Amino acid sequence: MDLTLFLALVALFLVGLVLIPFGLPGLWLMVIALVGYAVLDGFTRIGWGTLALVVVLAGLAEAAEAWLSFRFARRYGGSSRAGWGALLGGLIGAVIGTPVPIIGSVIGAFLGAFAGAVGLELLGGAERRASFSAGWGAVLGKAAGAATKIFVGLCIAIIGVFSVIS
């Protein structure tokens, strides 16, 4: 095992983990780092099965993040409109917030999920209190989604490190 290559992999894993709470593609950085390691190492330590596993894990984590915001908005009294508003609002908010360095996409995603859930509930005729409750649920769902992605990122890092050192 080349120590420099291993340390670079670990450093990229750490950077990826730090990026996740900011709404940036940290999981995908980790996946790309593992693919790069496999290629540079000639696939001697990391095989296609391991790479497929981490891609599937990252994809499931992304889907879970979106679903949790939708689900929490509904759980907190919102209709399916609130769920869709949370999902779409979170995506739009993240894109709008991207120009603000480091935290813009995070703040945008949280505010967007809240605004989307509240807005579509109000447009559907829901009362203000119920709409704001659904918006709060959307925010909690975004937080749960971020926590899920951090957990999956830790799993990917553990899989990658143990694949390399074993």
For residue 138, give every residue at least 6 positions away whose Cβ sits within 8 Å of its Cβ, in sequence order, or none. Answer: 69, 72, 73, 76, 78, 82, 85, 86, 89, 90, 113, 114, 116, 117
Q: 102 pLDDT band (50/70/90 cuts)?
A: low
- The rounded mean pLDDT for the chain is 91
pTM attached to this predicted model = 0.82
Picking from 48, 36, 43, 39, the residue whose alpha carbon sits closest to that of residue 10 is 36
For residue 157, give every residue at least 6 positions away whose Cβ sits within 8 Å of its Cβ, in sequence order, or none. Answer: 10, 13, 16, 17, 30
Digit-coded pLDDT (tens) for 43-79: 999 999 999 999 999 999 999 988 898 889 889 988 8
For residue 64, give every residue at least 6 positions away whose Cβ sits within 8 Å of its Cβ, in sequence order, or none. Answer: 145, 148, 149
What is the predicted pLDDT for the residue at 106?
83
Find out whether 114 and 97 touch, Cβ atoms under 8 Å. no
What is the predicted pLDDT for the residue at 87?
85
Find out whether 79 and 130 touch, Cβ atoms under 8 Å. no
Find out whether 145 and 69 touch, Cβ atoms under 8 Å. yes
What is the predicted pLDDT for the residue at 1?
62
Q: 129 pLDDT band (50/70/90 cuts)?
A: very high
